[in-house]
Chain A
Amino acid sequence: MGVNLESRHLRRQYQQQPISGWSRRPDAGRVDLPVRIYTLGRFSIQLHGHALYSRQARQRRPVEMLQALIALGGRDVGIDMLAHALWPDSDGDLARNNLEVTLHRLRRLFGVKHLFTLHDQRLSLNSGLGWVDAWSFERLVNHADRLLPQAGNPEVVRQLVRVGERLMALYQGNFLERETTSTWSLSFRERLRSKLMRHILGFGRVWEEIGDWERAASYYRRGLEIDPLTEALYQRLIICCRETGQHGDAMTAYQRCQTLLAQHFGIQPSPITQTLYSSLKP
């Protein structure tokens, strides 16, 4: 990443931003919306600030439709596609009929007019009335994509701190990971996870380049919580620990990497990782 190492001035300015410690505070945007839907690491619905979703059997299908609608993009989702996702073994007419009945129940469950709009056989969850954590996450990722190439600019770095904190706070776990293994959920779940992992490395490199090794290390550790087999994260973490004189932590990171790679794949750490390890020895 072509981040320019700026002056101490930049570092001082930037380091005034606190590390919040991945608070569970959700994205602060659009708190005014009547509906808030949490899908990352959990599933819950808030309607006018009160929990709506209970796991009653009669709510199962409408809620599943809502989840599938979100997973398939949430806006202008073709109802045939949605019906096929939810009733893959039913023929077209039956699946369509099921969808109409379930949509009616879903609308009744929320009781918010125009929350679900159907135009030209396409169903949308109205983002003017409903907030979804996964959507907010994706918007932040897109915002970060625009900011990361400009990370030499102190103002951009300040924005990146805020965006990074919000991204991490939003991503409390994989999309609907405890709710479903349905086909329709997989692609979206993996896409979000992949974006997070890419951004952890991207953000981490920015923090490294401006000398905030502690913040960078915290990002890499978070990445390893999500995927403990990603060797690149161990490499960056070892560098961060080495730069802050925490050789014990660096050794621990290397040993964990070595152990997990051996356990899972029967392989040794890559030459790059081994070179980093060698650099730790006095």
Chain B
Amino acid sequence: MENYIVRIYRRDSADPTKVAGVFESVEQETENTFTNLNSLVELLATDCPDRDPIED
């Protein structure tokens, strides 16, 4: 299991994809920031390279 903490510090009420926050990987003890949902997804996608494929 992978554990992350996501803290949201700013939301744009007019555009829900605009969120600013901190993405913390608990096991790796790393912290990254994001400024929109895409960059958050990107952080999630790149954080753990050794991931088993998810079957449909």
Contact = CB atoms under 8 A, between A and B. Distances in A.
B10 A265 contact: yes
Interface string A249-262: 00000000000000
Give chain A's interface residue range (CB within 8 Å of chain B): 10 to 19
Contacts of B27: 181
A270 B10 contact: yes
A265 B1 contact: no
A267 interface: yes
Contacts of A88: 1
Interface string B29-40: 100010100000
A3 B48 CA distance: 48
A27 interface: no
Contact of A265 (B3, B5, B9, B26): B9
Q: Which of B9, B10, B22, B29 counts the most A-chain CB atoms under 10 A from its CB?
A: B9
B43 interface: no
Contacts of B1: 88, 183
A88 B2 CA distance: 13
A58 interface: no
Contacts of A229: 7, 9, 22
A194 B1 CA distance: 24
A230 B5 contact: no
Contacts of B29: 181
Contacts of B10: 231, 265, 267, 270
A186 B26 CA distance: 9
5 contacts: A181-B27, A186-B26, A227-B7, A229-B7, A231-B10
Given A183-B26, A229-B22, 9 more contacts: A88-B1, A186-B5, A186-B26, A190-B5, A227-B7, A229-B7, A264-B22, A266-B35, A267-B20
